[in-house]
């Protein structure tokens, strides 16, 4: 996205939210943390925010809405994913694991692999298994949503900063 595109968005926000003050510092911060988003996606996120909130958006809110717009699968609930698993059990059973896995979205497939397809199909108490599936799905979903919110530049910075954690320094220096 170009900085001029962001300025259009911020001007619109200032019109809709009179307390949203646009200045150079705020524009630079917003641009630094939103520039990886495509302009039409950010526009849609802003429009959605305006319809849903009487308060101006934060960068985090705009990123969250933009990521949800770009990745509708991130909005899949644990109940939706479990429904996919049940449908795959009915349609493919334990004998057709490859097709069963291919029939599910990434989230349902990932948790099914963690538990094990044979374990799911042979479970005697599906209520207990469903509870375990929901808990695992919630944990993985929360981690993936947080990861998806971060711009690639921040992920790279974090990776650089954590690359040497736990490694001893040469010459006994401090980290």
Note the pLDDT tens digit of each residue in 85-103.
999 999 999 999 999 999 9
Classify the C-alpha dihedral 16-18-19-20 as positive or negative.
positive
Task: Please answer whether residues 46 and 12 qualify as being in contact, where contact means their C-beta atoms are separated by less than 8 angstroms.
Answer: yes
- Model confidence at 172, in pLDDT bands (50, 70, 90)? low
Is this model's pTM higher than 0.75 or not?
Answer: no
Distance CA 70, CA 59 (A): 16
DSSP code of 95?
G
Could you report the per-residue pLDDT of 36-77, keeping only the tens digit for each?
Answer: 999 999 999 999 999 999 999 999 999 999 998 988 767 789
In the chain, CATH 1.10.8 sits at: 3-70
Q: Residue 70 is inside which H or E element, if any?
A: helix 59-70
**Second CATH level (architecture) for the domain 3-70:** Orthogonal Bundle (1.10)
Could you report the per-residue pLDDT of 115-162, keeping only the tens digit for each?
Answer: 999 999 999 998 999 999 999 999 998 898 888 888 888 888 888 888
């Amino acid at each position: 996205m170009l900085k001029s595109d962001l300025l259009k968005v911020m001007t619109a926000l200032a019109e809709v939210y009179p307390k949203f003050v646009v200045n150079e510092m705020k524009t630079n911060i917003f641009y630094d943390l939103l520039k990886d988003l495509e302009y039409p996606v950010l526009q849609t996120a802003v429009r959605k925010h305006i319809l849903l909130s009487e308060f101006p958006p934060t960068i985090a809110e705009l990123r969250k809405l933009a990521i949800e717009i770009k990745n509708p699968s991130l909005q899949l609930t644990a109940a939706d994913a479990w429904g996919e698993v049940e449908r795959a059990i009915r349609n493919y059973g334990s004998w057709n694991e490859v097709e069963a896995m291919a029939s599910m979205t990434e989230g349902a497939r990932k948790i099914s692999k963690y538990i094990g397809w044979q374990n799911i199909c042979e479970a005697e108490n599906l209520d207990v298994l469903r509870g375990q599936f929901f808990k695992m799905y919630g944990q993985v979903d929360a981690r993936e949503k947080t990861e998806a919110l971060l711009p690639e530049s921040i992920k790279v910075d974090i990776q650089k900063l954590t690359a040497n954690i736990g490694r001893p320094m040469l010459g006994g220096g401090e980290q």
